[in-house]
Amino acid sequence: MAESTIESILEEKRLFNPSQEFAQQAHIKSKQEYQQLYEQAKTNPEQFWADLAEKELDWFQKWDQTLDWQPPFAKWFVGGKLNISYNCLDRHLQTWRKNKAALIWEGEPGDTRTYTYAQLHREVCLMANVLKQLGVQKGDRVAIYLPMIPEAAIAMLACARIGAPHSVVFGGFSAEALKTRLVDAEAKLVITADGGFRKDKVVSLKPEVDKALANNGAPSVENVLVVQRTEEKVQMEPGRDHWWHDLKAGVSAHCPPESMDSEDLLFILYTSGTTGKPKGVVHTTGGYNLYTHTTLKWAFDLKETDVYWCTADVGWITGHSYIVYGPLSNGATTVMYEGAPRPSNPGCLWDIVEKYGVTIFYTAPTAIRALIKMGEHHPNARDLSSLRILGTVGEPINPEAWMWYHRIIGQEKCPIVDTWWQTETGGFMITPLPGAIPTKPGSAALPFPGILADVVDLDGNPVKPNEGGYLVVKYPWPGMMRTVYGDPDRFRRTYWEHIAPKDGQYFYFAGDGARKDDDGYFWIMGRVDDVINVSGHRLGTMEVESALVSHPAVAEAAVVGRKDEMKGEEVFAFVTLEGDYQGSDDLKQELKQHVANEIGAIARPGDIRFTDALPKTRSGKIMRRLLRNLASGEEVAGDTSTLEDRSVLDKLRGG
């Protein structure tokens, strides 16, 4: 099956056990306990999730059927009624949590706000009533285009409260990207702000909304609700545009939550577009609530006293599931930061950890690599002793970056939770449970209980240990996407037909290659679209990049395939260097040899190009498809609207 699988060449042997102290206090305390849960869930998934749904969530009415599976369409907790904003807010008000900090927010200029559960509930009710006043009804779609300010979370919860599905559009997207999403979702209202602060700049948002709506660009939009943040002057169109602070003053703070069907649409979220045209991923209420609640509780061992901080943007699934819904459903304290590390304040993340005593910190490999480049003197100058768990998501983490995270940020005592999941999966799929599962740098470890993940060939047969293949899930789970908005056929085609169903078995496949090692640990090898075929050997990008990053001169690396007459394809590497290093022919030779030594001659790059930066999506993922075009001297093709910084691409094109 050489054609259908991927070869693995990287060997990483380091293993880190949770300390006894940590394991003893954890929700899931041992490998054995994990295995029991896993077996129990595998034997009877419906019962497993139904028990949790009963225990962890409040329902207005119990469901009649746990799972209705008409492949590839799943319904969970059919007939059940609930409201996710009730589970995130109201139910905590009946306990001492009423006056607990729900949301701690820090603005980039240094202003701060803290909302207790009671205060957050009040704000959400006010916004819900404003939305109703503006004619939003149950089922109407609302677009949220905001910076990272508390109103983003408030808006999402307000929509959920009245049963209006939200579509959060990342605040860094342009008018054009916003327009496409408004049109696709037929949004009735947009919630935005004058702007926000990021990397010492004012990012204007309202003018982008104006552009998107100009010339009847998104005819479904009737009203725009505007939050004042930067106090820059903006145009307000009479009748269409309304200030949040004005309308808020005129509504009641009483707004009972709508009783929602478990399968009612909760939100649409367009994927970040690393690989092509964004898809409107559909998530519904009951299953998503349960899944984000439970995965966060177990994978981050969430406790009442934790101060939990996820640095993602609410515009991504990570922000939805693990800044807003997951933490609040659990009654936790969630931290939100408006800004990002920047030359004027490269240590800002560590200041926040110190200031609020953050105990759980969750970020992405791209951020970790940037922090490494900024130097360890920044974290070293802060007190990070409050931290007890670290997390990572978004791309495969190179083992060397993992080790830095472990040593410098985790001070060798914090388990690292490497969570593999996707917009489509709603929540974590493969992840260590930090008190139960020893970790290996670069591996996302084992599937969450209830997740029947496997690595298979194109025919759906499991591949042997240590052989690469397609990462699939073989049974529905509560947090899974239900469809592509308005295009069920695209849903089927994109996710369920790549590996054809056989004997009634369906395979969910969303594009990643992986291998399992002898201990059953999963190693994500990168996207299968990015696989490089060298003389018939199919190489994943992750392993070659990790070999490059393990050289002291290399900060970040991206490899792509370039046509080669002899070998079919050869490895072409784009490399950014650590501060003290200069690109030279000697260094190229050295790096090529380094890769050959680390993982074998087959992966030795044919060519290396040094660059200041790599093209990334706005969520920080390397866009290898653009690099592939560049490496072979072709015009850059496909959608580039999600590119973070056009100038990176222009520079690479230039020479």
Residue ranges for the known binding site are 198-201, 318, 394-396, 418-423, 512, 527, 535, 538, 549, 551, 554
Cβ proximity of 243 and 236 under 8 Å: yes
Q: Does 359 bind ligand ATP (CB under 6 A)?
A: no
User: Which residues in the 481-500 window bind ligand ATP by CB under 6 A?
Assistant: none
Q: Does 426 bind ligand ATP (CB under 6 A)?
A: no
How far is residue 468 from each of residues 12, 124, 496, 524, 559, measured CA to CA in Å?
A: 15, 47, 20, 9, 18
Give the shortest CB-524-to-ligand ATP separation in angstroms: 4
Q: Does 416 bind ligand ATP (CB under 6 A)?
A: no
Give the shortest CB-419-to-ligand ATP separation in angstroms: 5
Q: Does 274 bind ligand ATP (CB under 6 A)?
A: yes
Exactly one of 90, 395, 530, 570 binds ligand ATP (CB under 6 A); which one?
Answer: 395
Distance of alpha carbon 318 from alpha carbon 312, whole angstroms: 6
Q: CB-wise, 315 or 449, nearer to ligand ATP?
A: 315
Q: Which stretch binds ligand ATP (CB under 6 A): 179-187, 234-242, 388-396, 588-596?
A: 388-396
Render 406-445 in DSSP notation, one character per residue. IIIISTTTSPEEE-B--GGGSS-SB---TTTS-B-TT--B
Q: Print the binding letters for residues 575-604 with ligand ATP: x by CB under 6 A, - otherwise.
A: ------------------------------
Q: Can the peptide bond before residue 165 be classed as cis, meaning omega within 30 degrees of 0? A: no
Q: CB-wise, 460 or 540, nearer to ligand ATP?
A: 540
Q: CB-wise, 5 or 619, nearer to ligand ATP?
A: 619
Neighbours of 152 (CB within 10 A): 28
User: Which residues in the 498-537 window bind ligand ATP by CB under 6 A?
Assistant: 510-512, 524, 527
How far is residue 160 from each of residues 154, 242, 479, 514, measured CA to CA in Å?
A: 10, 21, 16, 36
Q: Does 167 bind ligand ATP (CB under 6 A)?
A: no
User: Which residues in the 620-639 window bind ligand ATP by CB under 6 A?
Assistant: 621
Residue set of the binding site for ATP: 394-396, 418-423, 512, 527, 538
Residues 6+ apart with CB under 8 A from 493: none
Distance of alpha carbon 285 from alpha carbon 303, whole angstroms: 24
Q: Does 272 bind ligand ATP (CB under 6 A)?
A: yes
Q: Does 388 bind ligand ATP (CB under 6 A)?
A: no
Beta strands in 517-615 (DSSP E): 522-527, 532-534, 537-539, 554-564, 568-577, 607-610
Q: CB-wise, 57 or 473, nearer to ligand ATP?
A: 473
Q: Does 615 bind ligand ATP (CB under 6 A)?
A: no
SS (H, E, C) 142-205: EEEECCCCHHHHHHHHHHHHHCCCEEECCCCCCHHHHHHHHHHHCCCEEEEECEEEECCEEEEC
Q: Does 541 bind ligand ATP (CB under 6 A)?
A: no
Coil vs helix vs strand at 372: helix
* Residue 560 burial (10 A CB sphere; 0-12, 13-18, 19+): buried
Q: Does 271 bind ligand ATP (CB under 6 A)?
A: yes
Q: CB-wise, 135 or 276, nearer to ligand ATP?
A: 276
Q: Does 208 bind ligand ATP (CB under 6 A)?
A: no
Residues binding ligand ATP: number (CB under 6 A): 26
Q: Does 275 bind ligand ATP (CB under 6 A)?
A: yes
* 40: phi then psi, degrees, rounded to nearest 5: -60, -45
Exactly one of 116, 295, 419, 546 binds ligand ATP (CB under 6 A); which one?
Answer: 419
* Residue 122 burial (10 A CB sphere; 0-12, 13-18, 19+): middle
Give the shortest CB-642-to-ligand ATP separation in angstroms: 8
Selection from 493, 495, 491 nearest residue 510 by Cα: 495
Give ∠ CA 110-112-114 in degrees, rounded to 5.
Answer: 165
Q: Does 422 bind ligand ATP (CB under 6 A)?
A: yes
Strand partners, 513: 470, 526
User: Which residues in the 441-470 window bind ligand ATP by CB under 6 A?
Assistant: 444
Give the shortest CB-356-to-ligand ATP separation in angstroms: 25
Residues 6+ apart with CB under 8 A from 383: 354
Q: CB-wise, 280 or 460, nearer to ligand ATP?
A: 280
Q: Which helix (H) or strand (E) holds 115?
A: strand 112-116
Q: CB-wise, 406 or 621, nearer to ligand ATP?
A: 621
Q: Does 292 bind ligand ATP (CB under 6 A)?
A: no
Q: Does 273 bind ligand ATP (CB under 6 A)?
A: yes
Neighbours of 90 (CB within 10 A): 18
Kind of pairing, strands 554-564 and 537-539? unpaired
Q: Does 437 bind ligand ATP (CB under 6 A)?
A: no
Q: CB-wise, 436 or 444, nearer to ligand ATP?
A: 444
Q: Does 192 bind ligand ATP (CB under 6 A)?
A: no
Residue set of the binding site for Mg(2+): 549, 551, 554
Distance of alpha carbon 472 from alpha carbon 462, whole angstroms: 10
Q: CB-wise, 206 or 621, nearer to ligand ATP?
A: 621
Q: How many helices (H) and strands (E) does the chain have?
A: 22, 30
Exactly one of 59, 115, 361, 420 binds ligand ATP (CB under 6 A); which one?
Answer: 420
* Residue 270 burial (10 A CB sphere; 0-12, 13-18, 19+): buried
Alpha helices in 313-386 (DSSP H): 317-319, 326-329, 348-356, 365-374, 377-380
DSSP class of residue 461 equals: P
Residue set of the binding site for CoA: 198-201, 318, 535
Give the shortest CB-438-to-ligand ATP separation in angstroms: 17
Q: Does 546 bind ligand ATP (CB under 6 A)?
A: no
Q: Which stretch binds ligand ATP (CB under 6 A): 188-196, 215-223, 371-379, 420-428?
A: 420-428
Q: CB-wise, 130 or 484, nearer to ligand ATP?
A: 484
Q: Which stretch binds ligand ATP (CB under 6 A): 3-11, 229-237, 328-336, 419-427?
A: 419-427
Give the shortest CB-567-to-ligand ATP separation in angstroms: 26
Sheet holding 483-484, edge to edge: 241-243, 223-227, 189-193, 142-145, 166-168, 265-270, 280-284, 483-484
Q: CB-wise, 431 or 611, nearer to ligand ATP?
A: 431
Q: Does 321 bind ligand ATP (CB under 6 A)?
A: no
Q: Which residues bind ligand ATP (CB under 6 A)?
A: 271-275, 278, 316-317, 393-396, 418-423, 444, 510-512, 524, 527, 619, 621
